[in-house]
Structure 1
Amino acid sequence: MSVIWYECKVKYRKTHETGEQKVTTDTYLLDAVSYTEAEARITEEMKAYTEEDFRIMNIKVANFSEVHPFENSDRWFKSKVSLVALDEESGKERKINMYLLVQANDVKEAFENTEKAMADTMGDYSIPAITESPILDVFPYFMGEEEQLEKFGVIDDAEAIKEEVEEETVTE
């Protein structure tokens, strides 16, 4: 199942380093299966950022194929990667564009991190553009196997089966 990334713009009162509070609109990225889930998830995530009221201004599907966080980096960059493919019918090369969100400290590092992210790519590619993204933070959806079973109502059955197997083993 492919991941759908959503850009969420949230307006809220933010306390800056100087101590003054200003109303600001920030952009966050998260993955979800629907707009409804994206709205619920950004609401939960924003509760950790601010105790003030906030307003979700916009949610839209982002066109990122992949997201690559890197340690010791504080900004996000949108890298346009052009994959070179051979059109078998016409015999001509054509470029297929995809966008990566890469974490880095500057454009040079974003280029290097994009190359690291593309290291396992077998085909030819080029990186025609890298721009700084307005995205402040990314909230990927990590769900462990146990949580997935719980979510889909299977965990109760799994626990019951596990107990039955243990009981049978003890009685044998």
Structure 2
Amino acid sequence: MRSRTSTWFECKIRYEKTMEDGSQKKVTELYVVDALSFTEAEASIIEEMSSYISGEFEVKDIKKAAYGEIFFSDSPSADRWYKTKLQFITIDDKTEKEKKSNVNYLVHGSTLPGAVKSIDEVMGGTMIDYVIASIAETQIMDVFEHNQMLKKPEVDDKPEYEQDGQKAEEALQ
């Protein structure tokens, strides 16, 4: 189980899907992408979906997700996504009253009890008291993380301070 904090966008894609009986049907599916802006989210979902969809598709909607962190499951059977609201319980020092703060997460799992187990696994390592206020299965098909960070530098990539094969220091001499 791993978690990732980022800016997430929910993207709806509409395309013609081939059904199991061979017929074509227009469907709208929901995906989540990691991006810094709406423009980057649109470019990212188009790039990701181009390899999965043959034919035309349309980005119908993009909205910023209500969660900032996603818990990814390591289980190969995890094929569902659950929106979860956790309440963190703290004690106000001045009034000595209990205070609850709501935080939303997206959790990857194969079943509802499996998603709850994943939450407990991640949150069990923290010192914060929490309550699972709500958990619900979503229509999200998949989550695409930003792949720019995964890019390996190529052999030809040179640092910015190099000019025409010489280091900037040597160029000044």
Using structure 2 for the length normalisation, give the TM-score. 0.81
Task: Specify the alignment match of 2:128 in structure 1.
Answer: 123
> Which residue matches 1:45?
48
Query: Structure 1 residue 3: deviation in Å?
Result: 1.6
Q: Deviations over 1:97-136 (max 9, x none)?
A: 1111111111111111111121222110011211001110
**Quick one: structure 1 residues 44 and 119, their matched pair in 2 at CA, closer, same or farther if it must change by over 3 Å?**
same
In structure 2, C-alpha distance between the alignment counterparts of 1:146 and 1:158, rounded to whole Å: 18
Structure with higher helix content: 1
**Partner in structure 2 of residue 141 of structure 1:** 146
Q: Return the offset for 1:58.
A: 0.6
Partner of 2:96: 91
Equivalent of 1:80 in 80, 85, 109: 85
Residue in 2 that maps onto 1:113: 118
How big is the shift at 1:158?
5.6
Give the number of the structure with larger relative contact order, counting CA–CA contacts within 8 Å between residues 6 or more apart: 2
Equivalent residue, structure 2, for 1:12: 15
1:156 matches 2:158 = yes
Which letter maps to 1:96? Answer: S
Deviation at 1:164, TM superposition (A): 6.2
How many residues end up aligned between the 2 structures?
A: 159
> Which secondary structure state, in structure 1, belongs to the residue aligned with residue 83 of structure 2?
strand
Go from structure 1 to structure 2 and tell me whether the alpha carbon gap of 1:85 and 1:65 turns closer, same or farther (over 3 Å shift): farther
Q: Specify the code of the residue in structure 1 equivalent to 2:159.
A: D
Q: 1:48-73 deviations in whole A, cap 9, x for unaligned?
A: 12111111111000011311121221
Q: d(CA) in 1 for partners of 2:20 and 2:43?
A: 29
Letter in 2 for 1:83: F
RMSD: 2.4
Query: TM (normalized to structure 1)?
Result: 0.82
Q: Greater CA deviation, 6-15 or 64-73?
A: 64-73
Q: Identity across aligned pairs (percent)?
A: 36
Paired amino acid for 2:53: T
The CA deviation at 1:75 is 0.7
Distance (Å, rounded) in 1 between the aligned partners of 2:19 and 2:161: 48
**Where does the alignment leave 5 or more consecutive residues of structure 1 unmatched?**
166-172
SS for the counterpart of 1:157 is coil
Letter in 2 for 1:84: I
In structure 1, C-alpha distance between the alignment counterparts of 2:54 and 2:150, rounded to whole Å: 32
1:26-82 deviations in whole A, cap 9, x for unaligned? 000011000000010011111012111111111000011311121221111111111
* Residue in structure 2 matched with residue 132 of structure 1 by the alignment: 137
* Counterpart position of 2:109: 104
**Which SS does the other structure have where 2:148 is aligned?**
coil
